[in-house]
Structure 1
Amino acid sequence: MVPPARRRGRMKFLTECKADATADLVYRACPMHLLEPMELIKDLKPGQVLEILTDYDGALEDIPAWCAKHGQEFLGISEDACGDCYKLYIKKQSEEKS
């Protein structure tokens, strides 16, 4: 479930999004929610979408901030049908900036 404070923020919720690649980070400890997507997005072409599956609440703030810092587009978030994890979506805009 999305914490109430985050529902009121600037988070964009999606009902559907097609992904070109998926990073399954459920049950993975911090900082893997940033390190693995950073590597996976390098393999995508501009315009392709990376789906990140995570149960880590911190990712709801960290992933959008990472996208802004590195020139990628954070598309939004959805919850899986069971509500066990979040699905965050990043569209690759450009080659990774260091």
Structure 2
Amino acid sequence: MTPEELKSIKSNKVVDARGTSCPGPILAAKKAVAQIKPGEIMEVLSSDAGTNKDIPVWTRKAGHEFLGTVEESGYWKLFIKRMK
């Protein structure tokens, strides 16, 4: 998805992991994805650059779909669609 498309997504769950470093954002994402239904979208906010590599890898391993990343001022928004 393009950054413009991602910015228009209405997330079902937002996980604010800003201010935490690895493995904080990924642990928060793992916990929160269980709180949404298959087909719903979760948004992870992170100020840790490593999250941009970790979240896509975890998402694929867990069987979900990584939709993309939007860079904001000082943090990133990462979008995940729960698949199962």
Task: Identify whether the pair has TM-score above 0.5, normalized to the shorter chain.
Answer: yes
The counterpart of 1:30, out of the listed 17, 22, 29, is 22
| Whole-Å separation in 2 of the counterparts to 1:14 and 1:33 | 21
The counterpart of 2:32, out of the listed 5, 24, 40, is 40
- Max radius of gyration: which structure? 1
Identity %: 32
Deviating beyond 6 angstroms after TM superposition, the runs of 4 or more aligned structure 1 residues are none
Q: Which has the higher strand share?
A: 2
The number of equivalent residue pairs is 81
5+ unaligned residues in a row in structure 1: which ranges? 1-11
The counterpart of 1:57, out of the listed 43, 49, 64, is 49
Helix, strand or coil for the counterpart of 1:38?
helix
| Whole-Å separation in 1 of the counterparts to 2:48 and 2:76 | 8
Matching residue's letter, 2:58: W
5+ unaligned residues in a row in structure 2: which ranges? none
TM-score of the aligned structures, taking structure 2 as reference length: 0.90
